[in-house]
Amino acid sequence: MTDCIFCKIAAGEIPTEKIFEDDNVVAFPDINPVAPVHVIIIPKRHFATTLDMSDEAPELFGSLMKAASDTARKKGIDGSGFRLIFNTNADGGQEIFHVHMHLLGGEPIGRMRER
Ligand code: AMP
Ligand code: ZN
């Protein structure tokens, strides 16, 4: 999709460190990390939200999980642990409308609090 920053990263038009890549998925460092390890994992195909990808290509969630596991092992945080997050639409805090998974680790990630 034109003017989608993550499509440009997937196409190699914006250079980044590719931590993982296969036919369907790319993983690269978050530009504003919130943890010592903060990796963004995207499908190469453009879907605005998890809702769209669930409808059109749900199997790609498996590809994202495989990339997350591979990345966690590569970064040496498979044993210490990590958190995977998808933000969807406004209340989910989604800012970039190309489906992406956040992989966070390298230190204890804060517990989710009761409201
Ligand atoms: P979200 O709020 O889930 O849409 O998160 C978007 C994430 O993308 C944020 O954590 C940003 O720091 C990250 N981000 C934005 N632009 C880039 C970029 N060019 N390269 C890597 N990460 C980016
Ligand atoms: Zn896109």
Tens-digit pLDDT profile for residues 29-78: 999 999 999 999 999 999 999 999 999 999 999 999 999 999 999 999 99
Q: What class is the 5-56+77-112 domain?
A: alpha beta
Give distance in angstroms: CA of 78 to centre of ligand 1. 23
Each domain of the chain, given as residue ranges in start order, spans 5-56+77-112
Give distance in angstroms: CA of 76 to centre of ligand 1. 22
- Residue 95 has, within 13 A of its CA and on its CB side, a CA count of 3
- Residue 13 has, within 13 A of its CA and on its CB side, a CA count of 10
> Could you say which of 38, 46, 98, 100 is catalytic?
100
* pTM metric for this prediction: 0.97
- Residues above pLDDT 70, as percent of the chain: 100
CA distance 77 to 71: 9
Catalytic site includes residue 100: yes
